Structure 1
Amino acid sequence: MKKSVILAVMFAFILTVSSGAFAEITLTVAEIHPEDYPTTKGLFKFAELVKERSNGEIVIDVKFGGVLGQGEKEVVEQVQFGALDMARISISPVTEFVPALEAFGLPYIWKSQESMWKVLKGDIGARLLKEVENYKFYGLCYYESGARSFYNSKREITKVEDLKGLKIRVQSSQLMLDLVNVLGANATPIAFGEVYDAISKGVVDGAENNWPSYESTAHYEVAKFYTLDMHTRVPEILIASKIAFDKKLTPEQIALVMQAAQDTQDYVIEKWNERVEASKKIVLDSGGVTVTELTPEAFNGFVQAVQPLYEKYGAKHKAIIDEIRAAQE
């Protein structure tokens, strides 16, 4: 009888250990964009790679559509303090926590999509992802976010002077506030999910964003003047909570997750470029939207107008700015 009891206890112990060894770890990632958005597709690909490479031990739960918060700054804070495992966000709000990333968001610093990715995939990009760890984050990878341009409900913008007096929604970032203000408009921070109502009710006159965001949010319905000044190409960043990751994952598992994230970068670039063309078609086919391409002279007017930002932010980031410019040659 005693022998049977001992065997039963041993068997139960073995089952417990075995099930524990293969216990599923679920990590949640927040995304403000809808399910069919390029970065959201990238996160689903990321989840697929992690599950496959971890043999099902690690599962990524993608929470899209802003269900975990529409304000990116608030989401960043949740990640930093371990309340949320991961988030895909614009670099702009992260600069409030990781100042070195401000250089990536400076206006007109990137010559093209290709030259930007040359930098992000190189030593400079890797170094700044590592810098993120000093602020209770892990920087997993960068994602494509296109070029941001101004749109508004009031008038066509053909030169920088036309922005004067317009109330423009911006992300919660001092750099973005300064950028819009130095161009003569009035910067107004508003959560991304509230922009449509804010424009339609006249709280703001417009905003600034890329083609897919302009289309997917239907902002083109309420802000029918879109000027392609392409003032910034602010990369997206996939960040993780250092507190949460160090608690839930082994160093080997963290490395696996990081590599899987980086392996989705090219996938997102491909999906992004496809979506840009699709978004352009949707907007242009809708009718009533005025899309303005600046003349070289007008474009130069925008570039000259933002030079004070390089005086304000350039001093503390001069070395990295010089590196970025040299790497694009």
Structure 2
Amino acid sequence: MKMLTKTVSIISVLALAGGLLAGCGSKETSQGAGEAPQDSGKKYTFRLADTHPADYPTVIGDKKFADLVNERTNGRIKIEVFPASQLGEEKAVVEQVQLGAIEFTRVSSGPLGEFNKNFGVFSLPYVFDSDEHLWKFLESEPGNKLLDSLESSKMRGLAYYSSGARHFYSRKPITSLADMKGQKVRVQQNKINIDLMAALGANATPMAYGEVFSSLQTGVIDAAENNFPSYQSSNHYEVAKNLILDGHQRVPEVLLISQSTWNKLSEEDRKIIKQAALDSVPTQREAWDKYEKEAEAKVRAAGVTITEVKDVKPWQDAVKPVLDKYRPEYKDVMDQIDAARK
């Protein structure tokens, strides 16, 4: 009897452990036989991580994507969006996506250069003349191939999102290229940005996005760089009240899925998810344009000193060594970017 009782206890413990493991990560179950044919297949609940606040344009795009997937699968595939770095900072989240622990994320293409060298091209300064030039490249065949190349990094790129142009903002006034000299500038974590700061006479300080406000506030760094919406939504303008519109980079956002998650989906579900991602782009871009105008108005009203760069050529001349250094590495993509200019 004691042996039987012990055996039953062991079986109970194993059953409980199995139940707990089944509750971790994404959830999936088989559909019932009596359900509608268009719902045939497995049910999933996935997570999508974003570092930005809930009302930020990228999160609006994330939610549109999730809604479209939910609608087109009749609720069979649910994607829960977690904004405001709830699941971690960008670099850590990308690593989790590679492992399949988080199924989706929206990430800046800047940090992606550390995971897939092709994406380093977006960190190169002044390679795009305008948003029109950028999107002409992103929507081209070479732009789509760049998304597909993430497969070698255990991820898949689903779509690009807009993020405008990046500018420098600082505790001390920056009104010209000369004012960059000696500034400690926070940059996204990739080697091109470090070389870029050196070319401008500044000192690069790579750090996580969530640390920037306190680092500016305490003087650990003198300056940072980002687009208008991030500058405003992060409240960085409260501790760095000088902004120069140099537009040194146009770094698009990327909506990603873990390769391991992609592998377990049916061909039909892959098509639904890919198309939903592409169909969410107009919503995100429209939200971006609106938010960018509102963010600029808010920081101007808050008394931020904004300097417009009327002649960008001195800046372009200063960073030419960076372009020369990396052109051999990115020659094919840079040639395609040049072709999109025509």
TM norm. shorter chain > 0.5: yes
Other-structure match for 2:308: 293
Q: Which of 69, 78, 100 is the aligned partner of 2:118? A: 100
| Mapping of residues 20-169 of structure 1, within 5 Å | 24-70=43-89, 72-155=90-173, 157-169=174-186
Deviation at 1:323, TM superposition (A): 1.4
Other-structure match for 1:246: 263
In the alignment, structure 1 segments of 5+ residues that lack a partner are 1-13
Deviation at 1:295, TM superposition (A): 2.5
SS in 2 for 1:24: strand
Deviation at 1:104, TM superposition (A): 2.5
Q: Considering only aligned residues, what root-mean-square deviation do their CA atoms show, in Å?
A: 1.7
CA contact (8 A) 1:159 1:301 kept: no
Tell me whether 1:324 sits opposite 2:340 in the alignment. no
Other-structure match for 1:275: 291
Deviation at 1:21, TM superposition (A): 5.2
CA contact (8 A) 1:43 1:62 kept: yes
Which aligned segments of 4 or more residues in structure 1 are displaced greater than 4 angstroms?
Answer: 14-23
Q: Which of 211, 214, 231 is the aligned partner of 1:194? A: 211
Other-structure match for 1:173: 190
Aligned AA (2:167): S
Distance 1:153 1:103 in 2: 29
Higher relative contact order (CA 8 A, sep 6+): 1
Scaled by the length of structure 1, the TM-score of the pair is 0.91
Distance 1:32 1:238 in 2: 13
Deviation string 1:274-305 (CA, Å, 9 cap, x unpaired) is 00110011111112x10000121xx2111111
Distance 1:264 1:17 in 2: 32
Tell me whether 1:218 sits opposite 2:222 in the alignment. no
CA contact (8 A) 2:169 2:225 kept: yes
Aligned AA (2:80): D
Other-structure match for 2:24: none
Aligned AA (1:257): I
SS in 1 for 2:297: helix
Distance 1:133 1:188 in 2: 30
Distance 1:102 1:189 in 2: 15
Deviation string 1:309-329 (CA, Å, 9 cap, x unpaired) is 112211021121011111111
In the alignment, structure 2 segments of 5+ residues that lack a partner are 1-29
CA contact (8 A) 1:34 1:40 kept: yes
Deviation at 1:251, TM superposition (A): 2.2
SS in 1 for 2:329: coil
Deviation at 1:89, TM superposition (A): 0.6
Distance 1:63 1:100 in 2: 27
Scaled by the length of structure 2, the TM-score of the pair is 0.87
Deviation at 1:22, TM superposition (A): 6.2
| Number of residues of Structure 1 aligned to a counterpart in Structure 2 | 310
Aligned AA (2:99): F
Other-structure match for 2:276: 260
Deviation at 1:17, TM superposition (A): 5.1
Q: 1:295 to 1:244 in 2, by over 3 A?
A: same
Deviation at 1:233, TM superposition (A): 0.3
Distance 2:285 2:60 in 1: 11
Aligned AA (2:235): A
CA contact (8 A) 1:159 1:302 kept: no
